[in-house]
Amino acid sequence: MQLSDKYPFLTNYFIQAKNSENYSVFQSLLFYGSDLQSQYDLALYISKLLNCENNFNEYCNCQNCRWIDSHEHPAVITVSKVDYKPADDKTKTVISINQAKMIKNSLTTTSDYHRVFIFCDKGNDGEILGLNKLNFQEETANALLKIIEEPPKNTTFIFLTRDKNDLLQTIQSRCMAFFVPSFEFESYDYSLISGVFENYFTFERKNVFDVAGELFELSNNNSPLKILENIQNYILSLIKNNGDNKQFIFKLIEDLKVIETAKKQVQLNINPQNVFEDLCLKIIK
Ligand SMILES: [Zn+2]
């Protein structure tokens, strides 16, 4: 499956930014969500978009696109605890301050390419994992803050993580953040809320508290978290089936963020009735 079929709302967004020469989009990006491999694929997609010698598409076979596909592009760099290490760097569990220095040094020379630095973690089998405060620590982050805030021309930083809050606030605040939904192994089961919440985007504002009450009633027999996961699945299925409707997708992505917040509130033992009311107030307009 091509990335543009999987995430049309994201790939279209970046293509439009490129076509309208809105390069401020391509400074520092943060991707978050549970599907790290897709985040990495999206980072490579953007790298190709920015370096392609032709009118970019996913089947392009130009040298830059081929290099990026085979992880050989001289200016598209993966930075992790095992990638892009100076020879004398003995650290094994973190992106080190020496790596940060190496990046900064590399930026003092000019490049014919659009440089992309993809920051992530790697598992034992080389699988892509997310950054967190242990593998990407404050000291290293601090060394990079200035260039992340204002990257040199033709330079993009991309940070991959499961949860935005796994990254230091100082990094978060300097990046444009994008939620990358996971479509892997999702059952999209939303049977629990189908009678109550289906087509919620057509509901009227005046019924907010009725809907919240019905959701709360469901929690007599189900955990609030389960109800929220059903809502999340429902929204993900909507996203999957409405790829062309950009404005709607944008709303749905915003709604997913609201659900994420609600899940956290439930985990903090906030009264479910309040959580559902808050949620409905935010997404039923
Ligand atoms: Zn190309």
CATH number reported for the structural domain that contains residue 136 in this entry: 3.40.50.300
The answer to whether residues 172 and 267 belong to one domain is no
What is the Å distance from ligand 1's center to 2 Cα?
15
Number of domains in the chain: 2
pLDDT at residue 242, rounded to an integer: 78
pLDDT at residue 247, rounded to an integer: 87
Residue 190: count of CB within 10 angstroms of its CB: 20
What is the Å distance from ligand 1's center to 62 Cα?
4
The answer to whether residues 239 and 134 belong to one domain is no
User: In this structure, is residue 159 part of a structural domain?
Assistant: yes
pLDDT at residue 185, rounded to an integer: 52
What is the Å distance from ligand 1's center to 118 Cα?
19
User: In this structure, is residue 184 part of a structural domain?
Assistant: no
The answer to whether residues 167 and 207 belong to one domain is no
The answer to whether residues 20 and 123 belong to one domain is yes
pLDDT at residue 240, rounded to an integer: 78
What is the Å distance from ligand 1's center to 64 Cα?
6
What is the Å distance from ligand 1's center to 49 Cα?
8
The CA-atom distances, in angstroms, between 138 and each of 80, 88, 123, 132, 144 are: 15, 21, 21, 10, 10
Which pTM does this prediction carry? 0.71
**Taking a C-beta distance cutoff of 8 angstroms, is the pair 58, 187 a contact?**
no
Domain that holds residue 150: 3-179
Bridge partner list, 115:
155
Structure tokens at 27: 């400074």
User: In this structure, is residue 63 part of a structural domain?
Assistant: yes
Residue ranges in the chain whose pLDDT is less than 50? none
User: In this structure, is residue 185 part of a structural domain?
Assistant: no
The answer to whether residues 8 and 103 belong to one domain is yes
The answer to whether residues 39 and 172 belong to one domain is yes
What is the Å distance from ligand 1's center to 108 Cα?
26
Q: Which residues contact 211 (CB under 8 A, 6 or more apart)?
A: 196, 197, 200, 203, 280, 284
pLDDT at residue 189, rounded to an integer: 85
pLDDT at residue 81, rounded to an integer: 97
Given 142, 157, 179, the domain boundary residue is: 179
What is the Å distance from ligand 1's center to 147 Cα?
27
Given 145, 179, 213, the domain boundary residue is: 179
The answer to whether residues 170 and 208 belong to one domain is no
The answer to whether residues 213 and 174 belong to one domain is no
What is the Å distance from ligand 1's center to 50 Cα?
9
Least Cα distance to 266 among 222, 210, 234, 211 occurs for: 222
Residues recorded for the chain: 285
User: In this structure, is residue 186 part of a structural domain?
Assistant: no
The CA-atom distances, in angstroms, between 177 and each of 52, 101, 106, 236, 257 are: 24, 25, 25, 18, 11
Q: Which residues contact 145 (CB under 8 A, 6 or more apart)?
A: 170, 171, 174
What is the Å distance from ligand 1's center to 30 Cα?
24
What is the Å distance from ligand 1's center to 163 Cα?
32
pLDDT at residue 129, rounded to an integer: 97
User: In this structure, is residue 251 part of a structural domain?
Assistant: yes
**Taking a C-beta distance cutoff of 8 angstroms, is the pair 201, 251 a contact?**
yes
What is the Å distance from ligand 1's center to 43 Cα?
15
